[in-house]
Amino acid sequence: MIWKEHYEVVVGLEVHMQLLTKSKAYSSDSAEFGALPNSHISPITLGHPGVLPRFNSKVIEYAVKLGLACGCKITEENQFARKNYFYADLPKGYQITQDKTPICTGGGIKISTDEGGEKYINLTRIHMEEDAGKSMHDQDPYDSLVDLNRAGVALLEMVSEPEIRSAEEAYAYLTEVRKLIRYLEICDGNMEEGSMRCDANISVRKHGDTKFGDRVEVKNMNSIRNVHRAIEFEAKRQIALIESGEVIDQETRSFDAVNGTTFSLRSKEKANDYRYFPEPDLCPVIVTQEYIAGVKSTMPALPNELHNRFTKEFGLSEYDASILTDSKPIALYFNELAGITKNYKAAANWINGPVKSYLNEQAIELDSFPLKPSHLAGIIEMIDQDKLSFSMASQKLFPELVKNPEIAAPQLAASLNILQEDNSDMLLKWTQEALSKFPDKVNEYKSGKHGLIGLFMGEVMKISQGKADPKKANQMLRDELSKN
């Protein structure tokens, strides 16, 4: 990419996350996704005359959790504000949000860069607000339809400083944010369904410039990959404009996922004046230090904490630790397993190998996986004690154990007849049988082609159906071949 030699892209991201609260932010209506249109609506959601908001305090708890996880300062006196604009899916004509007193300020998100380093992206703020309803323009040939189930669902908006310098960093930032909110279980982070949404403020400037260029806001990117694509496209579009002597319109653009481009939605002149002012229907919410301490005590382990633990305490590689901490259930499963077995590397391999393959094949999540960490610990122990080979364990025992999780691994292995045989009589019998099949090769070996030992081992394993203890079988073969 030649442009990167001369220009850098400057990106700030606004992430909206729909909170997993049972009811909406300012009413007791259900916030559940996927119900029949306009079934989760009361006079409050409908914005009928005379209604008043009723604040759902769970929103504060979730906001404080996220703030603590990002190292933010938590605001003590939280005022609500009205953001005024007209749209068909905004029944009140204003959104209840926060303006001057966002619940979290400062803090940041640590990302890994492509160069293998780390970078800290500072946050400007996180504030509480409510979602709008959903307008649908493609359901009816003449009319637009409005579903108000989503209207009033609690949101947190997380705004980053314009410190992101590439599409890759944006990608890493969003991946980290999504991981974090999933760990905290405050949002399911599903960009396709829109429970996590991202707007990108994008500008470009020549390397070494200290002033920011004029920025464009891009909306409607429904995956992390599309955010990446949109930034790449916008950077090139803006540089082309600058190179041809034109100016960048400070406008709002929409991403078109089909051809990977952006198009203008509205110019700055047409931008809304939202006329923020303090929401008179809600009293400020006071967040005390005691409250924060209470939330802190219920915080789950966070991905970076687990990552540290896995590398420092358990001696795993960065790579293994990253894969394990990508998903909270996997990380916690490993964490539990690591409490039972001391063979951490084997534990990581089992989870990243057979367990994940099984989940993928069955297309299920870890919560429907039938084996407990203790099952896996049992298998690992048998392998460590040379009672079972890894291949037997992964190919024979594991698939059977998944079907019969109630049977203990050693018993099942015994009944499958796959326990390693270290009985020397049996080994001797298999060894002799194997060698007797290849009299010519035996002679060749004896005349110096020692590489043929692999062929004989293979035959021993074949005859023993894999049960031969490979170390002992190998020794016995050598012993037999050195006779005469």
Partner 1 sequence: MYSSLAEVQADLTAGKTTIESVTQQYLARIEERKSLNAFLEVFSDDALDMAKKADENRKHGKAGKLSGMVIGIKDNLCFKGHKVSASSKILEGFESIYTATVVERLIAEDAVIIGRLNCDEFAMGSSNENSAYGSVKHHLNENLVPGGSSGGSAVAVAAGLCLATLGTDTGGSIRQPASFCGVVGLKPSYGRVSRWGCIAYASSFDQIGPLANNVQDCAAILEVIAGPDAYDATLSQREVPQYTKELETSGKKKIAYFKEYIENEGLDPEIRNRMKELIEELKSEGHELTELTFPYLDYVIPAYYILTTAEASSNLSRYDGIHFGYRSKQATDLESTYKLSRSEGFGKEVKRRIMLGTFVLSSGYYDAYYSKAQKVRRMLRDETAEIFKSHDFILLPGTPGTAFPIGEKSSDPIVMYLEDIYTVQANLCGIPAISLPLGKHSNGLPFGVQLMSKNFDEANLLAFSSQMMEKVIQE
Please report, as ranges, the residues that interact with partner 1 according to CB under 8 A. Answer: 43, 46-55, 82, 84, 86, 88, 91-94, 144, 146, 273, 275-277, 280-283
User: CB of 114: closest distance to partner 1 in angstroms?
Assistant: 40
Residue closer to partner 1, measured from CB, 142 or 297: 142
User: CB of 280: closest distance to partner 1 in angstroms?
Assistant: 4
User: CB of 150: closest distance to partner 1 in angstroms?
Assistant: 15
Q: For residue 224, give both structure tokens.
A: 């992390």
User: CB of 128: closest distance to partner 1 in angstroms?
Assistant: 15
- The CB density around residue 51, as the number of other CB atoms within 10 Å, is 17
Listed residue (13, 160, 183, 163) closest to 72, CA to CA: 160
Bridge partners, 119 (sequence order)? 111
User: CB of 54: closest distance to partner 1 in angstroms?
Assistant: 7
Residue closer to partner 1, measured from CB, 4 or 48: 48
List the Cα angle 354/355/356 in 5-degree steps.
95
Residue closer to partner 1, measured from CB, 151 or 331: 151
Residue closer to partner 1, measured from CB, 273 or 367: 273
Q: Using CA atoms of 197, 88, 272, 72 in order, give the dihedral in degrees to the nearest 10.
A: -30
Residue closer to partner 1, measured from CB, 50 or 116: 50
Residue closer to partner 1, measured from CB, 96 or 156: 96
One DSSP character per residue, 400-455 reads: HHHH-TTS-HHHHHHHTT-SPB--HHHHHHHHHHHHHH-HHHHHHHHTT-GGGHHH
- The CB density around residue 141, as the number of other CB atoms within 10 Å, is 5
Q: Please answer whether residues 25 and 154 qualify as being in contact, where contact means their C-beta atoms are separated by less than 8 angstroms.
A: yes
The span from the CA of 346 to the CA of 394, in Å, is: 12
Residue closer to partner 1, measured from CB, 241 or 265: 265
Residue closer to partner 1, measured from CB, 193 or 281: 281
User: CB of 17: closest distance to partner 1 in angstroms?
Assistant: 24
Q: For residue 41, give both structure tokens.
A: 């609506």
User: CB of 147: closest distance to partner 1 in angstroms?
Assistant: 12
> What sections of 24-81 are H helices per DSSP?
43-46, 58-69
Residue closer to partner 1, measured from CB, 88 or 414: 88
Residue closer to partner 1, measured from CB, 45 or 431: 45
| 3-state SS, residue 263 | strand
Residue closer to partner 1, measured from CB, 83 or 205: 83
Torsions phi, psi for 269 (to 5 deg): -60, -30
Q: Please answer whether residues 132 and 87 qualify as being in contact, where contact means their C-beta atoms are separated by less than 8 angstroms.
A: yes
User: CB of 25: closest distance to partner 1 in angstroms?
Assistant: 13
Distance of CA 231 to the CA centre of its chain: 21
- The CB density around residue 122, as the number of other CB atoms within 10 Å, is 14
| 3-state SS, residue 155 | strand
- The CB density around residue 52, as the number of other CB atoms within 10 Å, is 11
Q: For residue 371, give both structure tokens.
A: 């084996």
The span from the CA of 273 to the CA of 351, in Å, is: 53
User: CB of 367: closest distance to partner 1 in angstroms?
Assistant: 36
User: CB of 95: closest distance to partner 1 in angstroms?
Assistant: 11
User: CB of 86: closest distance to partner 1 in angstroms?
Assistant: 6
Q: Which residues contact 412 (CB under 8 A, 6 or more apart)?
A: 397, 400, 401, 404
| 3-state SS, residue 340 | coil
| 3-state SS, residue 279 | coil
